[in-house]
Structure 1
Amino acid sequence: MKRVVITGMGVITPIGNDVETFWNQLSQGQSGISKIDTMDVSAYKSDIAGLVRNFDAEAAVGRREVRRMDRYTQFAVAAAKQALEDAKFSIDEHNAERVGVYIGSGIGGIHTMLENYRTLLERGPSRVSPTVVPMMIANMAAAQVSIMYGAKGPVLAPVTACATGNNAIGEAMKLIQRGGADVVIAGGAEATITDLALAGFGNATALSTRDGAPDEASRPFDAQRDGFVPAEGAGVLVLESLEHAERRGAHIHAELIGYGVSSDAYHIVATDPEGAGAYRAMREALADAGLAADEIGTINAHATSTVAGDLSETLAVKRLLGKRAYEVPISANKSMIGHMLGAAGGVEAVALIKTLQDGLIPPTINLQNPDPQCDLDYVPLQARRADVQIGLSNSFGFGGHNAVLIFKKFES
């Protein structure tokens, strides 16, 4: 079986639009949650989000191309550009057919859809953009990365809600392992901070309403958590077969060694209260990696700051690790960046890889009053030094989708 390694990383997030800035802010426990100032949200049940700030779309994508891309696609292309530059990898006529793109989105181009629907109602059908469909569909981030950089291998756009990023990366690993590509650009992108999404999530009572203190609103595992905080951005990795990476002398960030998936088969939005599906996905990832549970050194939790979700994940971890569950440090990145939906897995994969590289586990901020039922080691409030060799990253999505990745510090 081919070994798969990570040679490039790129992010667009509420706490930084490059890996270095993102990691510095995450390590320091800086929140990217703020009041929404991009539209009038005075009538909504929640008015806070993790917004991407200071994003220069024209610089990242190009003045000509940017007008034909929804915001989520712009994020994906920008993150992919960073990842390719980090990997020092160029796609050309000699390797293009062996390079794939697996980038998904939970929702896709909702900005484009809403803008054009308003145009339809206000100005009539003749004024709707002829590019509305290719701009709004959820495969277009993957397609545009393929087009812009000339990747002619397999292109796939998973749509598994909040598990999308992990599914994209995991399926990319499997593609490389079975010899379908040498390199895959993989991850997730999302840009859903719109009136429709905010109203829908709010009316579903899924969002935090701690509007008076935005930076304290996302509080995974805390007894006073009251819902998730929506966020936007992208996280993209460059995956390669080890032999391909070594042949070109690439710098290797980490090795991807396990991938597990499952379905709760329980409810369209609620998680299995016992965490059974999450447990199965973690168990499958361990089996795929050929590991015992006691070899996991840290967990990057899905941990959205919902009452039911955080508890079910805690129960799943306890079932997986047994008594050792209390000894394994767990970090909840969403306490700082909010819930980036389909982009979450890609961004959190970068965070876990940086943990392996730097020996630093980011904190779970706002964990001031721990839920007695969530009684594991969530690295509260401050980052922690730890020499971690292997880490597991969870992503669970609406519909019961569960996807888990396991990364290992690289050893030649």
Structure 2
Amino acid sequence: MTKKIVITGLGASSPLGGTMRESWEALLAGESGARTLEHDWVAQYELPVTFAAQARVRPDTVLERPVAKRLDPSSQFALVAAKEAFADAGSPELPSERLGVDFSTGIGGLWTLLDAWDTLREKGPRRVLPMTVPMLMPNGPSAAISMHFQARAYARTVASACASSTEALVNAFEHLQAGLADVVIAGGSESAIHPITLASFSSMQALSRRNDDPATASRPYDVTRDGFVMGEGAAALVLETEEHALARGARIYAELAGGGVTADSHHITAPEPEGLGASRAVQLALEHAEASADDVTHINAHATSTPVGDVAEVRALHRIFGDRISEIPVSATKAAHGHLLGGTGALEAAFTVLALHERSAPPTINVTEQDPEAPLRISGTPIPLGEGPQLAVSNSFGFGGHNAVVAIRSV
């Protein structure tokens, strides 16, 4: 028997705000989270890119000091977002064996790993912290959340680059359908604004180099786009069966109607140019939702602002929606919050939930000359959504050819 899976809680710590509500309001206002980096290491290593979308609120200023000290920033962000989401869901009471965690990261505890390496080289092995390995593990975020909430159904981690947290949502959907839990905390986290990642992404020509104007650097679908903007933070969603949510009188934001996961098997960094794998992921999500392409009223696009990636996604969408793609309101929110890598899909899914809940598709900022190869309906201001039933898809695609899409339905 197919179960209806609903979303009852949202939480975030992002470049736009320290909470989900702050992030959403800044997004609707057309703000940008991208700023010039003020770290000494930018000049020390002569980095070609000197800006990023850092989190608006540092997580170690939110968590209790003893807790923060034992967690990598990626786990700190995850715990902050999860605590907000669980409280937003009304802190559901249930047996710990019925509460699960599906969380993700693209890179893991990068800061912990590289700081420990510096310590080893400069001060010797005795100065390396004993918690280094637990802090750098990619499963650190899901473990921290599981232990905080005593979630004993399971605590699982997925790492599929920039598709990670959308894939975590698909996993949560499947785990709830399978009866492994009644409530799941799902999402993703990343804290990788570090000299090594900025240098590497820059070396592969993936980052925008608009050092003189960070706020307008991420410009998806614009003819002058030149790469993405690194971001950081986390987002969490509380998912549960509708039966469980109704029994406890929970407020329901929307329904997680389905999800699709595919692989390009094409190239380690470049997307399959015709969007074949991406379009199959969209189709699978719609099939799970028992919906057709004609039912879709809103799209949150992956849209990183890279010259190649944006066009491949447009081709994938055209394959599914045909010429109707020019009529569906599309939001490319990375223009505002940057690319949170493994955390970005969950943040965008949360924004999609709020778009349906509040009937307003968020704006796509920084587009001054839209690429004719991307004939999408985008706007620099919010686009009102209708009063009737709404169905949206949120896309995420990652290095390695990972594609993950969720379908979200209004209630």
Task: Specify the SS of the correspondent of 2:101.
Answer: strand
Alignment of 1:300-319 (within 5 A): 300-319=300-319
**2-structure distance, mates of 1:54, 1:80:** 15
CA distance in 1, matches of 2:92, 2:328: 39
- Counterpart residue identity of residue 346, structure 1: A
Tell me the equivalent position of 1:185.
Answer: 185
| Correspondence list, 1:121-200, <5 A | 121-200=121-200
Q: Which amino acid aligns with 1:409?
A: S
1:381 aligns with 2:380: yes
Partner of 1:51: 54
The answer for the alignment partner of 1:13 in structure 2 is 14
In 2, distance between residues paired with 1:335 and 1:266? 27
Helix, strand or coil for the counterpart of 2:189? strand
Give the superposed CA RMSD.
Answer: 1.0
Correspondences of 1:223-242 after superposition (within 5 Å): 223-242=223-242
Q: What letter is aligned with 2:176?
A: I
TM-score scaled by structure 2? Answer: 0.97
TM-score for the superposition, normalised by structure 1: 0.97
Q: Kindly, what percent of the aligned residue pairs are identical?
A: 43
Q: 1:64 aligns with which of 53, 63, 66?
A: 66
Unaligned runs of 5+ in 2: none
Deviations, residues 123-164 of structure 1 (Å, cap 9, x unaligned): 011111111111001101000100111111111110000001
Mapping 1:87-102, distance limit 5 Å = 87-91=89-93, 95-102=95-102
**Aligned equivalents of 2:393, 2:39: Cα separation in 1:** 35
Which residue of the partner structure matches residue 273 of structure 1?
A: 273
Which residue is equivalent to 2:117?
117
Q: Distance in 2 between matches of 1:392 and 1:233?
A: 22
Matched letter for residue 127 of structure 1: R
Q: 1: CA distance between counterparts of 2:65 and 2:149? A: 16
- Matches of 2:112 and 2:360, distance apart in 1: 39
The corresponding residue for 1:405 is 406
Cα drift, residue 342 of structure 1? 0.5
CA distance in 1: counterparts of 2:65 and 2:131, whole angstroms: 17
**2:87 aligned partner:** 85
Per the alignment, in what secondary structure is the counterpart of residue 294 of structure 1? helix
Determine if contact 2:70/2:131 at 8 Å carries over to the other structure.
yes
- Alpha-carbon contact 2:59-2:77 (below 8 Å) kept: no
The runs of at least 4 aligned residues of structure 1 exceeding 3 Å deviation read none
Show the counterpart of 1:369: 369
2:33 maps to which residue? 32
Preserved contact between residue 33 and residue 56 of structure 2 (Cα < 8 Å): no
Letter in structure 2 aligned against 1:118: D
Q: Would you say how many aligned residue pairs link Structure 1 and Structure 2?
A: 406
- Give the SS at the match of 1:396: strand
**CA deviation digits over 1:244-301, x for unaligned, max 9?**
0111111111100010010010000001111111111001111111111100001000
Return the alpha-carbon distance in structure 2 between the equivalents of residues 404 and 166 of structure 1. Answer: 6
Q: Which amino acid aligns with 1:389?
A: Q
- Is contact 2:59-2:80 (8 Å) kept? no
Aligned residues of 1:2 and 1:178 also touching (Cα < 8 A): no
1:41 CA displacement = 1.3
Q: Structure 1: any 5+ residue segments left out of the alignment?
A: none
Cα deviation, 1:69-99, whole Å, max 9, x if unaligned, reads 00010000000000010001245xx510000
Deviations 1:2-35 (A, max 9, x none): 1100010000000101111111110111101011
